Structure 1
Amino acid sequence: MTRGASGLMGLTEHRDLRSGETVWGPGKTAPGDPLPDTVDIAIVGGGIVAAILAERFASLGRSVAVIDRREPAHGSTAASTAQVMCAMDTPLGELVSLKGEAQAAQIWRRVQDAVANLSARIDALGIACEKQQVPTLCLEGDVLDAAALEQEGALRRSHGLPYVFLTAEQSAERFGISPRAGLVCDIDFEVDPAALTLGLFAEARAHDATITFPADVVALHAGDTTTRLDLADGRSLDARDVILATGYERPLLFLPPAFSLLSTFVIATAPGVALPNEREAMIWEAADPYLYVRADRDGRIIAGGEDIEADSASRRDALMDAKSGAILAQLHRLFQREDIEIERRWSAAFGSSPDSLPAIGAAANLPRTWMAYGYGGNGIAFAALAAEILEGLITGKGDGDAAAFSPYRFA
């Protein structure tokens, strides 16, 4: 763990989470609120995970305090892929070999339900976040070739998951790309992640939640019925329950080392570059290293991948030129266009786990302390899932799927 400016040992790591210029800027942020004395739920973190949690618990009538050392949406959220999708980085067939078919299928169905529920919630609240339905197309690669991808699609459909296999010719005809077999899902959607985060926080505030920043939580002290959160500046807050949702700045005393950090790279073109067919899906590869591509409402082509197993910001930044060039070359091949150029680029920390699933559940070493970490490549969907599961656990209703996402499942 690292030390903040005060010299106190921090509750979480301090990291340079992203570099470069992203597409989704957080924009104007409302001023922070005073720190309350006592609340039902204190959420440490100010990104998309914290926002979904805050809106959910505040709407249930719980008093909620959000605390972060940064302004809301100023960390990794602005570097998100911004596609909310049912699929996960670990194919269902691979997850079956790890967990058995019944549990693996239930995990996939539960994530799909969380995506659908989040979509409905955004619509019901009327949050302005440029939400629109955009299919996802997973292309054959060195992880799943065309035959394996067809088998994967059949397995998903047998469990009620909405995936259709396309031959190389069919995917080329529908999406105007170089011919490669693929699996398409038509119920996924995209958002502006920063706008969604700020919109959810605004809804939480409408239910009397507070958002305090900059405020660095450095210690937790469990009492008989509440936990005291100590801040670096000497302030403190008592909460009945504490949720740690600090993204890629890990609480190393709580989050097991199986949840590790990578670095990822992204490029974006100027607006208006994407052709009509290139706006019709988010495309990603069943490959390692992988490529993902999407276009936003302004017609920017956004592409990323080329992850490295390093969490150093200096190493990440040193590779930005080479990685940006590699992603651009893949774009040229995919769309068979040489006129695509980079307008902006960025790199960011990125979380992973051995099964590409998140860490959601109770901390083992402190009572009434919970974790919500969307590691594994599907962060916004996992954030929605975390809110559902933690609602059940904190309210005592329970959740039948909680064990599958426990932070300690690798012990």
Structure 2
Amino acid sequence: MKRKLDLRGGRPVWFSYRAPSVPAGKLTRDVKTDVLVVGMGISGAMAAEALTRAGHSVICIDRRGPLQGSTSATTALVQFEIDQPLTKLSAIKGKADAEQAWRRSRLAVLNLSGRIAELGIDCSLTSLPSLYLAGNLLDPTELQAEAEARRQAGIAASYLTSLALADRFGIHRAGAVLSHGNLALDPRKLTAGLLLKSLTRKARFYAPVEATTIEHGRGQVTVGTSLGPVITAQHLVLATGYELTDLIPATRHRIVSTWAIATGRQPKAIWTDAALIWEASNPYLYIRATADGRVICGGEDEEFTDEAHRDGLIADKAERLAAKLASLFPNLDVNPEFAWAGSFGTTTSGLPYIGALPGHPRVHAVMGYGGNGITFSQIASEIVASAIDGGDDTDAGLFAFSRS
């Protein structure tokens, strides 16, 4: 049923922080549930939490186990700023849809922050400013237009000249867009917290279990598993990250390899306000600090899917990332203590695909793309939970598989 992919390599920094253990049982007999969620990473965890909150019985399965997939490879810059700048997305999708996608992304970050606070999940959450630096995708004049487009869409943004950027943040670039209200967090701790909350609401977790067949009738979905037992559900949610089931059209996206490093702790060397930093470049660089003063830097993306080749490049890419980090912050100790690689999906528009699969109204897919995976997973949890409840999310059409 699934096109398997080794989603990460190397040693992500998040394994140096202890995340709560999430217990999963062994599937030994046929079971029934309202909703079956396939995948126990961040997307599956958000879906399970939203659905159990709405009162549905939920079963989650994963072929590896909780927190074992691509979630650990994320650098967890949780931004409402979509990979595709608003000015460029407007040219692709039209101004109205582009603005609404950005507004929904902004709302998702606010909703996620609120949900974490309400549930009391300890995931080192901080709300931070963000700097979008001039690069080969947008020059200073185009960045000014980008800031103005955001303001017209109702999303606060300021343009900083090179002088203002250097004066305030000590960064020497041609200009930047400054925004506020983005998040940094520990993705494994967040995922564990959401899954554990779902468990208290009687969700059932089974792993390692692989979904091998999907049969969909008028009133239910029947999923065969690698262990033999069958799971019958009213709805199926595919939250398998960038490992796609054969039901999902493979032509709608590309798989990209990315790399990241994390330095040793140096809290006194962190730049002003620990602002999240990313470039208006292709490929772009993205930088953040952890709560204890490590610097995480990622990028150097390349379009290929060979995992052995990807992992073989970790040392070289780590060296390149460290050099780029040093050019931006000469006073940092850029020596990597951690270096890793990951695979993620990307689309032309940068927008995710979320919702029922064409011809399969009871099978919902959650496919977050690009650098906004966690933000898009939040949007997906809202849209899918609404659909399963029989509601109609006002933005469902923006992210649907049937969109133009």
Match of 1:391 in 2: 385
Match of 1:3 in 2: none
Match of 1:141 in 2: 135
The amino acid that maps onto 1:46 is: M
Match of 1:7 in 2: none
Q: 2:240 aligns with which of 223, 239, 246?
A: 246
Q: For residues 39-65 of structure 1, give each alpha carbon's deviation from its aligned partner in whole angstroms, at most 9, with x where no partner exists.
A: 111000010000011000001110001
The amino acid that maps onto 1:151 is: A
Q: 1:61 aligns with which of 55, 59, 65?
A: 55
1:100 aligns with 2:90: no
Match of 2:13 in 1: 23
1:33 aligns with 2:33: no
Is the contact between residue 254 and residue 303 of structure 2 (CA under 8 Å) also seen in structure 1? no
Match of 1:350 in 2: 344
TM value normalised by structure 1: 0.94
> Partners of 1:326 and 1:365 in 2: how far apart?
46
> Partners of 1:153 and 1:393 in 2: how far apart?
34
> Partners of 1:242 and 1:95 in 2: how far apart?
31
In the alignment, structure 2 segments of 5+ residues that lack a partner are none
> Partners of 1:93 and 1:317 in 2: how far apart?
35
How far 1:164 moved relative to its partner?
1.2
Where 1:257 maps in the other structure, the secondary structure is helix
1:81 aligns with 2:81: no
CA 1:208–1:34 in 2, change beyond 3 Å: closer, same or farther? farther
Farther off after superposition, 210-219 or 265-274: 265-274
Where 2:324 maps in the other structure, the secondary structure is helix
1:295-310 matched pairs, under 5 angstroms: 295-310=289-304
> Partners of 1:260 and 1:245 in 2: how far apart?
17
Q: For residues 284-306 of structure 1, give each alpha carbon's deviation from its aligned partner in whole angstroms, at most 9, with x where no partner exists.
A: 00001211111101211110100
Is the contact between residue 22 and residue 195 of structure 2 (CA under 8 Å) also seen in structure 1? no
In the alignment, structure 1 segments of 5+ residues that lack a partner are 1-10
How far 1:67 moved relative to its partner?
0.6
Match of 1:161 in 2: 155
Is the contact between residue 256 and residue 408 of structure 1 (CA under 8 Å) also seen in structure 2? no
Where 1:81 maps in the other structure, the secondary structure is coil
Q: For residues 18-50 of structure 1, give each alpha carbon's deviation from its aligned partner in whole angstroms, at most 9, with x where no partner exists.
A: 111111127452331354711111000010000
Match of 1:403 in 2: 397
Match of 1:50 in 2: 44
Match of 2:125 in 1: 131
1:369 aligns with 2:363: yes
How far 1:339 moved relative to its partner?
4.1
TM value normalised by structure 2: 0.95
> Partners of 1:353 and 1:214 in 2: how far apart?
30
Where 1:298 maps in the other structure, the secondary structure is coil
Match of 2:175 in 1: 181
Is the contact between residue 78 and residue 193 of structure 1 (CA under 8 Å) also seen in structure 2? yes
How far 1:78 moved relative to its partner?
0.7
Q: 1:330 aligns with which of 319, 324, 327?
A: 324
How far 1:278 moved relative to its partner?
5.7
Q: 2:270 aligns with which of 263, 268, 276?
A: 276
How far 1:250 moved relative to its partner?
1.1
The amino acid that maps onto 2:5 is: R
How far 1:340 moved relative to its partner?
2.2
> Partners of 1:279 and 1:313 in 2: how far apart?
36
> Partners of 1:377 and 1:297 in 2: how far apart?
20
How far 1:173 moved relative to its partner?
1.7
1:230 aligns with 2:224: yes
> Partners of 2:319 and 2:401 in 1: how far apart?
36
How far 1:104 moved relative to its partner?
1.0
Where 1:135 maps in the other structure, the secondary structure is strand
Is the contact between residue 264 and residue 304 of structure 1 (CA under 8 Å) also seen in structure 2? yes
Farther off after superposition, 174-183 or 107-116: 174-183
> Partners of 2:162 and 2:139 in 1: how far apart?
11
Aligned residues: 400
1:112 aligns with 2:106: yes
Q: 1:208 aligns with which of 202, 208, 211?
A: 202
The amino acid that maps onto 1:235 is: P
CA 1:274–1:306 in 2, change beyond 3 Å: closer, same or farther? farther
CA 1:28–1:188 in 2, change beyond 3 Å: closer, same or farther? closer
> Partners of 2:43 and 2:333 in 1: how far apart?
37
> Partners of 1:314 and 1:126 in 2: how far apart?
39
> Partners of 1:18 and 1:315 in 2: how far apart?
12
> Partners of 1:399 and 1:71 in 2: how far apart?
31
The amino acid that maps onto 1:175 is: F
RMSD over equivalenced CA pairs, Å: 1.5
> Partners of 2:306 and 2:249 in 1: how far apart?
19
> Partners of 1:186 and 1:247 in 2: how far apart?
28
Aligned-pair identity in percent equals 38
1:13 aligns with 2:3: yes
The amino acid that maps onto 1:67 is: I
> Partners of 2:399 and 2:73 in 1: how far apart?
24
Where 1:134 maps in the other structure, the secondary structure is strand
CA 1:227–1:343 in 2, change beyond 3 Å: closer, same or farther? same
